[in-house]
Amino acid sequence: MTDDFIFVYGTLRKETATPMHCVLARYCDYFSNGTMQGKLYEVDGYPGAIESNQSGDRVHGEVYRIINREMVFIQLDEYEECSDTFPQPHEYIRKKGLISLPDGGNILAWVYIFNHDLSTLTEIKSGDYLGYIKCRGAL
């Protein structure tokens, strides 16, 4: 069986120390920092990432090796409002994406992609949610 990975870029990152990061840490092992080609937006106290065709658009985050796929996705899909208990269209879509690693390699990992209108949202130009919230004194 091949390894399964997940890329997180916001409130699931270890430095946030949120209860949901504890769920991630329970069912996954930290693997590496990474980036995805995309844009990051401030939604409502949390970020939303979308995919981008522009190579300079990067979203920064962390990659985890999934240990218990069933348990991690039961809880994270509910947290990200993309489980069957939420009406369509879901706020996020969980899909596999190409993640760039610091050593120059790439890996396929699950990522939650924001799936609602962006027109009223503020883009986080740095692509780094942790840096964004630190500048606002929220971390």
Domain borders along the chain are 5-135
Are 66 and 23 spatial neighbours (Cβ–Cβ below 8 Å)? no
Q: Architecture of 5-135 per CATH? A: Roll (3.10)
List alpha helices for 2-128, DSSP H: 19-27, 69-79
Question: Is this structure's pTM higher than 0.85?
Answer: yes
What's the chain's average pLDDT? 94
Q: What is the DSSP letter of 70?
A: H
Total residues found in the chain within this entry: 139
| Per-residue pLDDT tens over the stretch 8-27 | 999 999 998 889 999 999 99
